[in-house]
Amino acid sequence: MRLMLVGTLEGHITEAGKIAMARGAKVSHAEDGETALAALRAGKGADLVMIDVRLDVGVFIKALKAERIQTPVIAFGIGNDAGLAVKAIRAGAKEYLPLPPDAALIAAVLEAVSEENETVVVSDPVMQESLNLAKQIAPSEATVLIRGESGTGKEVMARFLHRHSKRKDGVFVSVNCAAIPEQLLESELFGHEKGAFTGAVARRIGKFEEANGGTLLLDEISEMHIRLQAKLLRAIQEREIDRVGGSSPVKVDIRLLATTNRNLEDEVQAGNFREDLYFRLNVISLTLPSLRDRPQDIPALARHFARKYSASNGMDDRPLSQGALDKLQAHQWRGNVREMENTMHRAVLMARSDIIGPEAILLTGQAPVQSPKPALAQPVQSISAPQVTEAGKAAGFVGRSMAAVEQDLILGTLNHCLGNRTHAANILGISIRTLRNKLRDYADNGVPVTPPMNESASEHVGA
């Protein structure tokens, strides 16, 4: 990943950079927020920015948002000043990192914020065929269309192709075409000149130029508006782009990868996707099977994610019991590998012993398993049953607003976790910051919120 350090904190910032580089990060440095912003505009991209808390973190984050630069920010400073930490997080920083830097903490932050998992875990022969094809085509310059259901690991495979290509020393740049509004995606891809439109306060280099010399991934390309597809087709054909508001084309040298969870042939027939663009992208087609079609990968992935989240939570490795493996094998995995990862993260946190048993495997569509009580133990029910409320009382979903149901689910999960915000956020599948904001809103409206128990001081921020 690419890390940008912003600020001058004596020798600590140099030490933090060395630790990050030892963990595989490519590190750049800027003296202040304005210099960092100029570097990001100029295409010197970063997957994560760590900024000195003594700088104006709020102004820097507002500037990033104003120019639609989607880069997470972490504040860091000498010592563990709770006031500075709260100020930075309220300004929009994801976390606060105290200095002098701790190697394990920096490693955990890099992994948590970047959310990159580049490990390809394969045991099933069906998936092995796809991996063998990926190894064969990786050294070429051919455009690859990676197909598969959501959660099958298409971006992980794209990163695998990049790491085994001739461009492995170049950058890997990913654009989620489904997450960016159509009117903004053109600028995101091709960049813009100063004054090209309202809010264009300076020249901005787009993802095509940022990826120059490396690999560009267009994630979920089937979601791109057909108007923009024409401009993309020209960029692929000519290997040159036009910035929005620009007067002359800019040559780019990239290898293009694209992913889709739709059948593009059907999208072409429906008039939603250009046929000529489809043929340009489909030089080589690489299909990733769903997890239910590669059953031998289920135990391998489960063990992999159990090890990963045991380590990231400071726990000893927790093996899985045969009962837990049987439960995993019987599940349909509509969310594929992504669902498996979330399931195993929960299982590591919810396990009642050093071994992950079936009671810790909370699958989609099921409520958390409550600890047995001496008398009148309640049977576990599906979450589809009308039973989720903040106090565990029976209540129907029908006739209630989404906000009310969400509030009951969040408060009920928090109560189940005895107030532990981190565990509750992991079970709910939301960020700790989102959970804190929800709880703050509930408390402001007079709704009782389970207080934190046995958590560090950092968990109290904004809760």
Statement to judge: residues 285 and 312 lie in one domain: no
Of 255, 274, 289, at which residue does a domain stop? Answer: 289
Statement to judge: residues 323 and 190 lie in one domain: no
pLDDT tens for each residue of 429-439: 787 778 888 88
Find which of 14-18, 102-106, 424-428 is predicted with most confidence, using mean pLDDT. Answer: 14-18
The confidence band for 399, taking pLDDT boundaries of 50, 70 and 90, is low
CATH code of the domain in which 300 resides: 1.10.8.60
Q: Which among 174, 172, 155, 119 has a CA at the least distance from the CA of 261? A: 155
- Cis before residue 125, ω within 30 degrees of 0? no
Statement to judge: residues 110 and 131 lie in one domain: no
Q: Residues 95-122: what's their mean pLDDT?
A: 73
Statement to judge: residues 324 and 438 lie in one domain: no
237 within a domain of the structure (yes/no): yes
Number of domains in the chain: 4
Per the CB < 8 A criterion, the answer to whether 399 and 431 are in contact is: no
CATH code of the domain in which 16 resides: 3.40.50.2300
pLDDT tens for each residue of 253-284: 999 999 999 999 999 999 999 999 999 999 99
Q: Which among 433, 422, 426, 391 has a CA at the least distance from the CA of 409? A: 391
Of 77, 95, 114, at which residue does a domain stop? Answer: 114
> Does residue 287 register a pLDDT over 70?
yes
254 within a domain of the structure (yes/no): yes
Q: Which among 103, 71, 97, 73 has a CA at the least distance from the CA of 85? A: 97
> Does residue 397 register a pLDDT over 80?
no
Statement to judge: residues 398 and 420 lie in one domain: yes
What pLDDT is recorded for position 400?
Answer: 62
What pLDDT is recorded for position 398?
Answer: 54
The alpha-carbon radius of gyration of the chain (Å, integer) is: 24
- Domain extent for 239: 125-289
Statement to judge: residues 281 and 303 lie in one domain: no
307 within a domain of the structure (yes/no): yes
Statement to judge: residues 142 and 216 lie in one domain: yes
Amino acid in position 407? Q
More confident residue, 288 or 418: 288
Statement to judge: residues 249 and 389 lie in one domain: no
What pLDDT is recorded for position 308?
Answer: 87
Percent pLDDT > 70 in the chain is 86
Q: Residues 373-396: what's their mean pLDDT?
A: 37
> Does residue 390 register a pLDDT over 60?
no
Q: Can you list the alpha helix ranges (DSSP code H) found in 138-263?
A: 154-163, 182-190, 207-210, 226-238
Find which of 43-57, 348-362, 416-430 is predicted with most confidence, using mean pLDDT. Answer: 348-362
Statement to judge: residues 144 and 277 lie in one domain: yes
| pLDDT-wise least confident of 5-14, 235-244, 374-383 | 374-383
CATH code of the domain in which 415 resides: 1.10.10.60
Of 341, 364, 387, at which residue does a domain stop? Answer: 364
> Does residue 427 register a pLDDT over 90?
no
> Does residue 101 register a pLDDT over 80?
no
Statement to judge: residues 190 and 237 lie in one domain: yes
Mean pLDDT, all residues of the chain: 83
Pairing mode of beta strands 250-251, 240-241: antiparallel
pLDDT tens for each residue of 13-29: 778 888 888 877 888 88
